[in-house]
Amino acid sequence: MPGKHDGMGAFAGGGGATILVRNHELEGSGGEGSTVEGRRPYDRAEPGGTTAIVVGPDRRKLDESVTSSGTRVNCAGGRTPWGTWLTCEEDRRDDHGYVFEVVPGEDEGALSREPIRAMGSFSHEAVAIDPRTGIVYLTEDEARGGMVRGGELGVRFESFLYRYLPADLSRRPGALGRGGRLQALALEERGPARADGLTPRRQVGVAWKPVDPEDAHDSARERGAVRFKRLEGAYFAGGALWFSDTAGGGRGQGQMFRYRPGPNTLELFLESREPGQMRAPDNVVVAPWGDVWFAEDWSDGRNRVVGITPEGRTYAFASYRGGESELAGPCFAPDGRTFFLNVYEPGTTIAVWGPFEPGGVAGRARMARSAPPRDLGPLVSGNLRDAAGRRGIGTLEAAAYERLGVPLG
């Protein structure tokens, strides 16, 4: 198997097995192996792609294979509700920078070689899908040359959050490739803005601006989309999208955002302001009981898996010290009993088992609806709280409905 293990997803296999689909962030000929030997790749000159590992119920490897080949810098990606993996290219040069769909149970097929062009050509990171609507959310990690502070020529980090509205909502392999609309996130009441200007735990209304998929980044900039620094992981659970900015915030140590499609609001859920709280959040997953977990990618090689509770408290679950390597690809087995994680280099996949706390749908919904601190939340009357209780929704959701003029009775 090739090296540079990055994003990863876990899928149910037969007989209680788990199929792990792993990205390999490869390009050129760096000696880390290749996915293309003996294959029909998308681009024979590129060594990147995905592999699959079949893990038995006893957490031992049963099989492994190449599931897609010939792509470049496969960084993150995401699961689909219909059981496939979307692998994303971070490099957009020479007809690359696309999303590809991979079927976990297939060694390789025609689908894995077909880029989803309507999803845009840009420096892709992660994808996450709202299972209720089928809308796909995509993060970007873009670095371009330009003038930086002090008037010197350097690297300018500027990324956008996108969403893809598929034309085909049949929710089956290949449906996303049948066309759709690409949009970028903008603030509802202001023009161009940087996400660093958002106040933690305050919810702001947003709008979605149409962009050109073949020139998504520049198009988003021209449309006044919200500018982040370096967007990384994304995960949708319980009615909310969680995504990380690995270099965001005043200290440059990272931010975690929450977008809720129901009230159509964006919120800076957590910004690292204390030593050890959060450093360079990268890949994101929501644990079975609802906490948001992320893998750190800090440059000193001392990285952790960190959890965030509904109250905004952080805790370290695991740590790794391995030179300049990082942790990546956090995901839970479909039954929630095993946690899988990659060490980027030399390329190792780790299984960790608990017992972990159960939580299911209720736990994830609680995290998605967790309220900001009382002094930052909207004013909610007693009558509105009662109406929210009768309808089984959170007070923030009820406040959003009231703002839109929807009677709750």
Q: pLDDT per residue over 114-131, tens digit each?
A: 999 999 999 999 999 999
Q: Do residues 195 and 341 both lie within one domain?
A: yes
Whether 289 maps to a domain, the answer reads: yes
Nearest to 400 by CA among 376, 380, 382, 383: 380
333 contacts 322 by C-beta, under 8 angstroms: no
**Residue in the structure block whose two tokens are 């050129």:** 28
Provide mean pLDDT across the span 34-56: 89
- The pLDDT assigned to 358 comes to 76
Provide mean pLDDT across the span 79-94: 96
Whether 344 maps to a domain, the answer reads: yes
Whether 69 maps to a domain, the answer reads: no
230 contacts 243 by C-beta, under 8 angstroms: no
Using a 10 angstrom Cβ sphere, with 0-12 exposed, 13-18 middle and 19 or more buried, the burial of residue 224 is middle
CA pair distance 348, 281, nearest whole angstrom: 20
88 contacts 74 by C-beta, under 8 angstroms: yes
- Give yes or no for residue 398 having a pLDDT over 80: no
- The pLDDT assigned to 306 comes to 96
Using a 10 angstrom Cβ sphere, with 0-12 exposed, 13-18 middle and 19 or more buried, the burial of residue 222 is middle
273 contacts 250 by C-beta, under 8 angstroms: yes
In which region does residue 4 sit, left (phi positive, over 0), alpha (psi from -120 to 50) or beta (all else)? left
Q: For residue 139, how many C-alpha atoms fall within 13 Å in the half-sphere facing its CB?
A: 31
238 contacts 276 by C-beta, under 8 angstroms: no
CA pair distance 206, 224, nearest whole angstrom: 12
CA pair distance 55, 6, nearest whole angstrom: 18
Q: Do residues 146 and 249 both lie within one domain?
A: yes
Q: Do residues 300 and 271 both lie within one domain?
A: yes
343 contacts 5 by C-beta, under 8 angstroms: yes
Q: Do residues 352 and 386 both lie within one domain?
A: no
Q: Which residues pair with 165 in a beta bridge?
A: 181
If one compares 87 and 390, the residue with the highest pLDDT of the two is 87
Whether 251 maps to a domain, the answer reads: yes
Write the pLDDT tens digit of every residue in 186-243. Answer: 998 665 578 877 888 888 999 999 999 999 999 999 999 999 999 999 999 999 999 9
Q: Do residues 259 and 408 both lie within one domain?
A: no
Other beta carbons within 10 angstroms of residue 202's beta carbon come to: 14
Whether 29 maps to a domain, the answer reads: no
Provide mean pLDDT across the span 20-45: 83
In which region does residue 49 sit, left (phi positive, over 0), alpha (psi from -120 to 50) or beta (all else)? left
Q: Do residues 285 and 238 both lie within one domain?
A: yes
Q: Do residues 387 and 363 both lie within one domain?
A: no
Residue type for position 51: T
Whether 65 maps to a domain, the answer reads: no
Q: Do residues 202 and 298 both lie within one domain?
A: yes
Residue 72, token pair as written in the block: 């470049």
- The pLDDT assigned to 155 comes to 59
- Give yes or no for residue 402 having a pLDDT over 80: no
Band of residue 389 on the pLDDT scale cut at 50, 70, 90: low
Q: Which residues pair with 292 in a beta bridge?
A: 286, 308
Q: What is the CATH number of the domain that holds 88?
A: 2.120.10
Domain span including residue 251 = 78-97+115-377
Using a 10 angstrom Cβ sphere, with 0-12 exposed, 13-18 middle and 19 or more buried, the burial of residue 243 is buried
Whether 284 maps to a domain, the answer reads: yes
Q: What is the pTM of this model?
A: 0.89
Q: Do residues 274 and 387 both lie within one domain?
A: no
Nearest to 229 by CA among 159, 144, 169: 159
Number of compact structural domains in the chain: 2
Band of residue 31 on the pLDDT scale cut at 50, 70, 90: low
CA pair distance 102, 171, nearest whole angstrom: 14
Residue 202, token pair as written in the block: 């305050």
Whether 20 maps to a domain, the answer reads: no
Q: Do residues 170 and 120 both lie within one domain?
A: yes
Q: Do residues 393 and 333 both lie within one domain?
A: no
Question: What is the average pLDDT score of the chain?
Answer: 88
Write the pLDDT tens digit of every residue in 141-186. Answer: 987 644 445 555 455 689 999 999 999 999 999 999 999 999 999 9
Lowest mean pLDDT across 38-52, 73-87, 328-342, 357-371 = 357-371
Q: Do residues 170 and 317 both lie within one domain?
A: yes
